[in-house]
């Protein structure tokens, strides 16, 4: 089965809010004096939508690791697969996208782990309001994961199937990373050369 590229509509986080909002607006036209076959089904639907919203909020507080947006709380309990640096004539380096949104987290990673550290790749990550799945990048210098951005579209397309297949088995890949820039805005570069050995079947867990 190929890795999904988008969330199912029912898994899209803002959907319950939108449904409740539309129904609340519709209450202006559905009043007690409305026909019973309109009034009572509408109220049942409104109560069900509010319950759906509440259940979603409660589930959102029960943080899994990684959570529904691909953020990691810690590496404890995760099976980490190493994709080490490989010596080659041409390095396979990929810049991380959206780092401008995560400068505080990158600052902390730089402070605790230095410029050269590692990053864990998390498939099926996403941004709030987005229905698109992406591969999240979690810097792990100092032992605490910090979200630094996502793989770019072209790189995502290359490694999506491999990383997703490993994640379904509970395994997440760690690659060498480097934080660039002496001051903000920092960038992050990943050494993805070792992923080729994983694709060839050379998987080893940390």
DSSP letters, 7-69, are --GGG-TTHHHHHHHHHHHHTTT--TTS-HHHHHHHHHHHHHHHHHHHHHHHHHHS--SS-TT
| Average pLDDT rounded to a whole number, residues 42-57 | 91
Could you tell me the pTM of the whole model?
A: 0.87
pLDDT exceeds cutoff 70 at 38? yes
pLDDT exceeds cutoff 90 at 13? no
> Which positions ≥6 away from 135 have C-beta within 8 Å?
121, 122, 123, 125, 150, 151, 155, 156, 159, 160, 163
pLDDT band, residue 89 (cuts 50/70/90): low
pLDDT exceeds cutoff 80 at 90? no
pLDDT at 129: 86
């Amino acid at each position: 089965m190929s890795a999904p590229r988008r969330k199912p509509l029912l898994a899209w986080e803002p959907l319950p809010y939108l449904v409740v909002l539309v129904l609340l607006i519709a209450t202006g036209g559905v009043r007690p004096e409305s026909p019973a076959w309109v009034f009572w089904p509408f109220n049942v639907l409104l109560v069900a939508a509010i319950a759906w919203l509440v259940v979603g909020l409660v589930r959102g507080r029960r943080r899994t690791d990684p959570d529904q947006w691909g953020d990691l709380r810690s590496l404890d309990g995760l099976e980490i697969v190493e994709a080490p640096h490989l010596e080659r004539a041409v390095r396979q380096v990929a810049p991380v996208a959206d780092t401008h949104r995560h400068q505080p987290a990158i600052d902390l990673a730089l402070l605790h782990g230095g410029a050269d550290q590692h990053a864990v790749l998390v498939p099926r990550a996403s941004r709030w309001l987005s229905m698109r799945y992406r591969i999240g990048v979690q810097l792990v210098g100092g032992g605490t994961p910090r979200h630094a951005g996502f793989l770019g579209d072209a790189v995502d397309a290359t490694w999506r199937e491999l990383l997703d297949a490993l994640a379904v088995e509970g395994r997440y890949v760690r690659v060498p990373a480097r934080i660039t820039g002496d001051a903000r805005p920092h960038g992050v570069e990943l050494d993805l050369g070792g992923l080729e050995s994983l694709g060839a079947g050379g998987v080893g867990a940390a």
